[in-house]
Chains A and B, each alone.
Chain A
């Protein structure tokens, strides 16, 4: 890729981050919190998209990684009095360990079998979070507010209840993960991953150990999901087993499909679009599962490329 093209790609993504930063000064309070939530959840979708969009592995068990990050961060805060940075690190570490162990077993299978195995493992994880309810309190969950020490910036204390901290914390995580994913996509490793998506047999023939690359992709994907889970726990001070349920594994699939599989900005668009669609729909019906179901059907039947995938195919072929 030429320097000019590279500049254009990075310019676009930095501009998106800048717009999101500026948006916090004009958004009404209600949308302010919503956008903070959307940013954290898009990191989850970004991670999902690394595996599905750039490696071609579809998983139905990503809630396991999200919840590993959430519990990995939340339990030390609740029981051991960890601060936010340590808890975040613990959460991401848990995600990496869970994804690595899962990958070593599940990547022996591929295609549909991989899908089912990921679903099964995630369900075992969910059941375990219910089974150990003396620690996790299961569905009821743990409330972290009051347990988490405020952060200090140059002498001023900023508590986790401050909307500004929620927004900028979410944005910082999103910016790091977005640019990180972009760098990975453009790096030689990213190209091998895409080669595996397109034709695994041929990639192996060229001398690449596809198992190791797939494992790497799964671990990166799991780490991003866990980072999102850990940040969600810290910023919105709640840890509960609902976030490990199957519906929560389906969401990132839906968001990635909607935004465009294999596009860097697609997960953000998909998450935001779906979030506000459900929000809007809840105004006239409580049947939000219906919205989720119909959206999945419509996307897969008539709109398989998603929003950005269509934009790329029609107008902007350089979009990563």
Chain B
């Protein structure tokens, strides 16, 4: 295969990565933007989504049925866990920035250990719900990956609709801009915080369900999406939705290109150094508004 098709494959892989990453990172970005806290356990919500999807595939006979069931059930279950974490831990800390980081690190290890104990240390594959190949002149490409990108795009559009066209979205944007003013106008801040935390976790879990037929479910799989989401959120600016989308594509494509031409490990090192470069030039990120 010559250079052109290689590059095409890299961009194709990068696009799929970018869509899934955008869904995951948007969850992290929403939580940071509205609640001003960094959720280090975000990757574990992704991992829980994947693990639950693999359990659903075992319960339901047909791959398509299992997938559709998981796509609804896993985010709901993970959202419930997130609600409990918000109620039992984050609220008690009064959403203190550094305290919540330590607490979510604790949550990360508790969730990881729980999955290791009850699910086991093995990586488990899940059959793709739909199987077809798209034939290009140079190579065939898994149709399921295109489906993943499409569902991710739908999820992103739905989140955007929620943020800009609903009362809840209005509350969220109000809390993000000025919490005290929002509360003065009757925005139920606590309830909005709980819903945002659950929503962020559900987005991560949905991304986990989507990738499990490509990646395999494993109790340690949450770290990579967490770090990549951090990269995306930093490059895109903390709390900026538009920036998150653009940054997801920058990271996804560069990851795809370096992975195809060099090695995946090198791709991650490059992405990390990209963050360093961004921070040296603009400490608040490319799209982030200056914040006191």
Residues of A at under 8 Å CB distance from B?
A: 58, 60, 105-106, 108-109, 111-113, 115-117, 119-121, 123-124, 127-128, 130-131, 246, 250, 253, 257, 287, 289-290, 292-297, 299-301, 304
Q: Are A301 and B93 in contact (CB under 8 A)?
A: yes
With CB as the reference atom, state the residue of chain A lying closest to B41.
A293
The answer to the question of B283 belonging to the interface, with a C-beta cut-off of 8 Å to chain A, is yes
Given A105-B280, A120-B227, A301-B93, answer yes or no on A294-B272 (Cβ-Cβ < 8 Å): no
Residues of B at under 8 Å CB distance from A?
A: 38, 89, 92-93, 97-99, 101-103, 105-114, 116-117, 223, 227, 230-231, 234, 238, 263, 265-266, 268-269, 272-273, 275-276, 279-280, 283
Q: Are B234 and A116 in contact (CB under 8 A)?
A: yes
Q: Are A131 and B269 in contact (CB under 8 A)?
A: yes
Interface class of chain B by DSSP: helix
Q: Are A108 and B99 in contact (CB under 8 A)?
A: no
Q: What are 12 inter-chain pairs, A to B, with CB distance below 8 A?
A: A105-B276, A115-B98, A119-B230, A131-B263, A253-B102, A289-B110, A290-B109, A292-B106, A293-B107, A293-B112, A297-B103, A299-B102
Q: Say which residue of B103, B227, B238 sits within 8 Å of A301 (CB atoms).
A: B103
Q: Are B116 and A289 in contact (CB under 8 A)?
A: yes
Which residues of the other chain, A, contact B108 by a CB distance below 8 angstroms?
293
Given A108-B283, A120-B275, A131-B266, answer yes or no on A292-B38 (Cβ-Cβ < 8 Å): no
Query: Nearest 4 CB-CB pairs, A to B?
Result: A296-B106, A293-B109, A293-B110, A124-B272
With CB as the reference atom, state the residue of chain B lying closest to A132.
B265
With CB as the reference atom, state the residue of chain B lying closest to A249.
B105
Which residues of the other chain, B, contact A131 by a CB distance below 8 angstroms?
263, 265-266, 269
A299 to B106, CA, bound (A): 10
Which residues of the other chain, A, contact B109 by a CB distance below 8 angstroms?
289-290, 292-293, 296
Given A117-B279, A253-B102, answer yes or no on A246-B223 (Cβ-Cβ < 8 Å): yes
Given A124-B273, A127-B268, A131-B263, answer yes or no on A113-B93 (Cβ-Cβ < 8 Å): no
Which residues of the other chain, B, contact A295 by a CB distance below 8 angstroms?
106
Which residues of the other chain, A, contact B110 by a CB distance below 8 angstroms?
289-290, 293-294, 297
With CB as the reference atom, state the residue of chain A lying closest to B270.
A124
A7 to B101, CA, bound (A): 39
State how many angstroms separate the Cβ of A243 from the closest Cβ of chain B. 17
The number of inter-chain residue pairs (CB within 8 angstroms) is 114
Which residues of the other chain, A, contact B265 by a CB distance below 8 angstroms?
127, 130-131
Which residues of the other chain, B, contact A123 by a CB distance below 8 angstroms?
227, 268, 272
Which residues of the other chain, B, contact A250 by a CB distance below 8 angstroms?
105
Which residues of the other chain, A, contact B102 by a CB distance below 8 angstroms?
253, 257, 296, 299-300
A112 to B95, CA, bound (A): 13
Q: Say which residue of B89, B227, B273 sits within 8 Å of A297 (CB atoms).
A: B89
State how many angstroms separate the Cβ of A137 from the closest Cβ of chain B. 15
Which residues of the other chain, B, contact A287 by a CB distance below 8 angstroms?
113, 116-117
Given A115-B38, A121-B272, A290-B109, answer yes or no on A296-B103 (Cβ-Cβ < 8 Å): yes
Which residues of the other chain, B, contact A106 by a CB distance below 8 angstroms?
279
Which residues of the other chain, A, contact B276 by a CB distance below 8 angstroms?
105, 117, 120-121
Q: Say which residue of B101, B113, B223, B272 sits within 8 Å of A120 (CB atoms).
A: B272
Given A124-B272, A130-B265, A287-B113, answer yes or no on A105-B107 (Cβ-Cβ < 8 Å): no
Q: Are A293 and B227 in contact (CB under 8 A)?
A: no
With CB as the reference atom, state the residue of chain A lying closest to B284.
A113
State how many angstroms separate the Cβ of A7 from the closest Cβ of chain B. 36
A304 to B276, CA, bound (A): 32
State how many angstroms separate the Cβ of B164 from the closest Cβ of chain A. 26
Q: Are A296 and B105 in contact (CB under 8 A)?
A: yes
A296 to B110, CA, bound (A): 10
State how many angstroms separate the Cβ of A133 from the closest Cβ of chain B. 9
Which residues of the other chain, A, contact B106 by a CB distance below 8 angstroms?
292-297, 300
Which residues of the other chain, B, contact A257 by a CB distance below 8 angstroms?
102
Which residues of the other chain, B, contact A60 by a CB distance below 8 angstroms?
101
Q: Are B279 and A109 in contact (CB under 8 A)?
A: yes
With CB as the reference atom, state the residue of chain A lying closest to B282.
A108
Given A287-B113, A293-B107, A297-B107, answer yes or no on A113-B238 (Cβ-Cβ < 8 Å): yes
Identify which of A106, A115, A131, A289 gathers the most chain B CB atoms within 10 Å of its CB: A289
Given contacts A112-B238, A292-B109, A293-B110, 14 further A-B contacts (CB under 8 A): A109-B279, A109-B283, A111-B98, A112-B101, A124-B269, A127-B268, A127-B269, A289-B110, A289-B112, A289-B116, A292-B106, A294-B106, A300-B103, A304-B99
Which residues of the other chain, B, contact A253 by a CB distance below 8 angstroms?
102, 105
A130 to B263, CA, bound (A): 12
Q: Are A293 and B279 in contact (CB under 8 A)?
A: no
Identify which of B117, B263, B269 gathers the most chain A CB atoms within 10 Å of its CB: B269
A127 to B266, CA, bound (A): 8
A287 to B113, CA, bound (A): 6
Which residues of the other chain, B, contact A112 by a CB distance below 8 angstroms?
38, 97-98, 101, 238
A304 to B230, CA, bound (A): 26
Given A105-B276, A116-B38, A296-B109, answer yes or no on A301-B92 (Cβ-Cβ < 8 Å): yes
With CB as the reference atom, state the residue of chain B lying closest to A246.
B223
State how many angstroms separate the Cβ of B104 from the closest Cβ of chain A. 9
A58 to B102, CA, bound (A): 10
With CB as the reference atom, state the residue of chain B lying closest to A122.
B272
Given A253-B102, A297-B106, A300-B99, answer yes or no on A289-B113 (Cβ-Cβ < 8 Å): yes
